[in-house]
Structure 1
Amino acid sequence: MYKIFYKTELFIGEGALEQLRIFKDERILVVADPFLKTSGQLADITSFLDASNELVIFTDIAPDPPIETVVAGISSAEAKPVSIVLSIGGGSAIDAAKAIYYFGKKEGVFSEAVLVAIPTTSGTGSEVTDFAVITDNELGTKYPLVSKEILPDIAILDANLVLSLPANITADTGMDVLTHAIEAYVSTEATDFSDALAEKAIRLVFEYLPKTYRDGKDIQAREKMHVASTLAGMAFNTAYLGLNHGMAHAAGAKFHIPHGRLNSILMPHIIQYNANHTDKGRQRLNLEIAGRYQAIAKHLGCSATNPAIGVKQLINEIKKLQRQLNLPTSLREYGIKSSDFQEHKEEVAMAALNDKCTATNPRTPTVQEILKVLEKTY
């Protein structure tokens, strides 16, 4: 038996921001990316809110939000009741808002608050997940926060908000979507429901991510990627993730590479490891796992006549997509120094093994196996 739980009410498409007009006479804590404030986009979004609302604006958000940000966000409410926590931005802003909401409720500041998410990137799917990642900068460690309590009550997906997203961020966040979907599809907790969501997300990414990268003003492609991000988020929120994200969390904390870009670098190597696939074919293929990757390849239109060919074709399709997006394919190409890599690799491997995402990877790794994968990514 398994349980499927979809809580978030979604408003999707051009004009979706009109939904904000329903809020009246509320005290709203707005947690937003600082760029949105300086660019004027935050004011444009909050202009949809009725004048009867009292707004508290908190924009002290950093990538991979540290614990200090969470504390500052709660303090910004000045111990007065907040009825709505409105998160606006990319994954870091929404993750920060979730953590602020969660710990603020524990302290009684947001006891009756509603959590609303408005993503301004198409990548994390955080608007429909009960995950958030916060960072302890002193220890250089990322901690996943997992609780049904931080599932947003409402998510507003308006593609107009991502039209100005730079090409490099479009690529990074888009590859994060792909990683979410593929990992959910091969997860040990995958179901028919998560499979359906992941399959659609994967097809949308391969069709529309190159279009949004080439022409950021393509509103149809932008909306499709916005939807793909949410579909992938819904998929991994029920099926969870795997070693790709476990390693990305661990390596990201040490090497400070954008999360989606790091996922992209790792992905082909993780697929090979999970399927026990090598180009020379000397190892015994894990047929069950390779068969899942073969199914993805078939969904993309590849012949995938057997599991080994399916794995190889899927990896080739991913590498082709990386080339279209001008993404680095190794840590060295990104600019990580060999000395830094050697200094941190064992610590990264151990942290990846203990990461919660790794628990649902289709193949159970050892520290030494993770180190081998890490070496290949360098």
Structure 2
Amino acid sequence: MSALDNTQHESTALQGYYGWTDTLKGVYYGPGSLATALPKLLQALGATKALVVTGRSLYDKTDVVKKVENVLKQHNAYGATFYEIGQHAPVAGINNGLKAFKDAGADVIVSVGGGSPVDASKAILYFHKQETGGDYLRQIAIPTTLSAAEYTVGAGYTNEAGKKVAVSSPLLAPAGVILDAELTLSTPDRLWLSTGMRAVDHAVENLYRPLVPPPIKHLCYAALVDLFKYLPQSKANPKAIDIRQKLQVASWMSLWPMKQEKYSALGLSHALGHKLGAAYSIPHGITSCLTLAPTVALKAEVASQEDKEWLSNALYHLRQEQTGTLESDVLKLSNLIDGLVKDLGLKCNLEEYKVPREDVPQIAELAIGNTTDPTYPKVLDLLYNLYPN
């Protein structure tokens, strides 16, 4: 099944499965929650020494990492800090992070930052298990963006050839998550808002993702309501901690943790984003700004009746009039997403990110699996339309 064609799955409105990840000890949220939540999670895990994993900019340019280090030091649980994690988590950084983890004698990772440190930490712990043959050690995630990598069991990293590679296990999902909006104040506005669009991407694509049960889809509607409401407010008032906290919770709702009996990819927008992001150094939040609205427009043409209904009903939750046909409703949702991208000042194109036009056929093929898929020409058109006229 391609990332685009989810038409053959059974109706998840009538049958399915829901389970929580086996090992999540808790999600703590609220401004200032770091100081109380981190010690509780360390105790729940029986962890004694932490490696802090983060990115260089967050380490060099803010006091966020120092705040985390100080809490760990107060509880005699600080080992070291590793900050060589780059965008899309290059494997060289992961290998160096594994060495730092062992050198520190750490038994837990505390990741601080966006999706790259969180995913890199999963990969470090995956490689550690492969090397030692022991149990998976665990991660506590402290996100400073809205990308929501902390709620998934998989990790994407970039190999030596510049290709995105994935590892996955239920035991790689972070054992604890701390959503402290005070720690997000130094996140650059463009990164904060674009990862908010990544959360919109999660919420929308979960509406047509196979094997997602209805309660999760209704959480996605709630996420969309808050993301459409609070992202523009956060742009207008970036220091409003209450708005940032609500956005962190909305990001959580957009990718609510699930224990799936079998893995299902999110959808075409994410598939395209993964191929564009690693190969051309485009941040994942920006790839969602590029691909989500046109993907939803394409769904108006190719999606199943049930998937169109789920997308159409998003208009009701967003307090928008429905048009009278499912196809027009889905197109209206696409236009609303495009309008949000523009309102946030995030409208962009592939030319700006130096993606050669001649690469488009390969990007499309990698995203949907093959060139014989009947949707392949439509995906080509979608990508070519991401260049300026």
Q: Normalising by structure 2, report the TM-score.
A: 0.85
- In structure 2, the partner of 1:89 is 113
Q: How does 1:145-164 map to 2 (within 5 A)?
A: 145-164=167-186
2:282–2:353 CA contact under 8 A, matched in 1:
no
Q: Does 1:346 align with 2:361?
A: yes
Runs of 4+ in structure 1 deviating by more than 6 angstroms, as ranges, are none
Which residue, 304, 312, 337 being the options, matches 1:294? 312
Pair 52,126 (structure 1): closer, same or farther in 2 beyond 3 Å = same
1:30–1:86 CA contact under 8 A, matched in 2:
yes
Which residue, 280, 297, 303 being the options, matches 1:255? 280
Pair 349,341 (structure 1): closer, same or farther in 2 beyond 3 Å = same
**Distance in structure 1 (CA, Å) of the matches to 2:312 and 2:368:** 26
**Distance in structure 2 (CA, Å) of the matches to 1:29 and 1:202:** 35
2:203–2:221 CA contact under 8 A, matched in 1:
yes
**Distance in structure 1 (CA, Å) of the matches to 2:121 and 2:269:** 25
Which residue, 143, 151, 154 being the options, matches 1:128? 151
- In structure 1, the partner of 2:64 is 41
Pair 111,82 (structure 1): closer, same or farther in 2 beyond 3 Å = farther
Q: Normalising by structure 1, report the TM-score.
A: 0.87
- In structure 2, the partner of 1:360 is none
- 1:88-108 deviations in Å (ceiling 9; x for gaps): 111001111111011112222
User: 1:16 corresponds to which letter in structure 2?
Assistant: S
Q: How far does residue 13 in structure 1 lie from its aligned partner after superposition? A: 0.5
Pair 69,165 (structure 1): closer, same or farther in 2 beyond 3 Å = same
Q: How far does residue 316 in structure 1 lie from its aligned partner after superposition? A: 2.1
Q: Does 1:377 align with 2:386?
A: yes
Percent identity, please.
Answer: 28
SS in 1 for 2:156: strand
Q: How far does residue 289 in structure 1 lie from its aligned partner after superposition? A: 2.9
Q: How does 1:226-237 map to 2 (within 5 A)?
A: 226-234=248-256
- In structure 1, the partner of 2:87 is 63
**Distance in structure 2 (CA, Å) of the matches to 1:3 and 1:286:** 22
Greater mean deviation of Cα atoms: 110-119 or 11-20: 110-119
User: 1:274 corresponds to which letter in structure 2?
Assistant: K
2:18–2:259 CA contact under 8 A, matched in 1:
no
Q: How far does residue 254 in structure 1 lie from its aligned partner after superposition? A: 2.8
**Distance in structure 2 (CA, Å) of the matches to 1:331 and 1:298:** 32
- In structure 2, the partner of 1:4 is 19
Q: How does 1:155-194 map to 2 (within 5 A)?
A: 155-194=177-216
- 1:151-176 deviations in Å (ceiling 9; x for gaps): 11111110101122222112211100
**Distance in structure 1 (CA, Å) of the matches to 2:316 and 2:187:** 31
Q: How many residues get paired?
A: 357
Q: How far does residue 19 in structure 1 lie from its aligned partner after superposition? A: 1.8
1:67–1:134 CA contact under 8 A, matched in 2:
yes
User: 2:101 corresponds to which letter in structure 1?
Assistant: A
2:49–2:76 CA contact under 8 A, matched in 1:
no
- In structure 1, the partner of 2:8 is none
Q: How does 1:201-212 map to 2 (within 5 A)?
A: 201-212=223-234
- In structure 1, the partner of 2:140 is 116
**Distance in structure 2 (CA, Å) of the matches to 1:254 and 1:51:** 41
Q: How far does residue 232 in structure 1 lie from its aligned partner after superposition? A: 1.2
Q: Does 1:306 align with 2:331?
A: no
Pair 28,322 (structure 1): closer, same or farther in 2 beyond 3 Å = same
1:322–1:329 CA contact under 8 A, matched in 2:
no
Pair 110,312 (structure 1): closer, same or farther in 2 beyond 3 Å = same
**Distance in structure 2 (CA, Å) of the matches to 1:29 and 1:336:** 34
SS in 1 for 2:385: helix
**Distance in structure 2 (CA, Å) of the matches to 1:145 and 1:204:** 31
Pair 77,40 (structure 1): closer, same or farther in 2 beyond 3 Å = same
- In structure 2, the partner of 1:77 is 101
User: 1:188 corresponds to which letter in structure 2?
Assistant: P
Q: How far does residue 366 in structure 1 lie from its aligned partner after superposition? A: 4.1
**Distance in structure 1 (CA, Å) of the matches to 2:292 and 2:235:** 20
**Distance in structure 2 (CA, Å) of the matches to 1:213 and 1:54:** 35
Greater mean deviation of Cα atoms: 176-185 or 304-313: 304-313
**Distance in structure 2 (CA, Å) of the matches to 1:221 and 1:311:** 28
SS in 2 for 1:241: coil
Higher relative contact order (CA 8 A, sep 6+): 2
Which residue, 303, 322, 331 being the options, matches 2:350? 331
1:180–1:236 CA contact under 8 A, matched in 2:
no
SS in 2 for 1:88: strand
Q: CA RMSD in A?
A: 2.3
Q: Does 1:315 align with 2:334?
A: yes
- 1:63-103 deviations in Å (ceiling 9; x for gaps): 00111111111111346643211111110011111110111
Pair 21,190 (structure 1): closer, same or farther in 2 beyond 3 Å = closer
SS in 2 for 1:62: coil
**Distance in structure 2 (CA, Å) of the matches to 1:82 and 1:135:** 24
**Distance in structure 2 (CA, Å) of the matches to 1:261 and 1:193:** 28
Q: How far does residue 110 in structure 1 lie from its aligned partner after superposition? A: 7.3
**Distance in structure 2 (CA, Å) of the matches to 1:365 and 1:248:** 20
**Distance in structure 2 (CA, Å) of the matches to 1:269 and 1:101:** 36
**Distance in structure 2 (CA, Å) of the matches to 1:78 and 1:320:** 48
User: 1:15 corresponds to which letter in structure 2?
Assistant: G
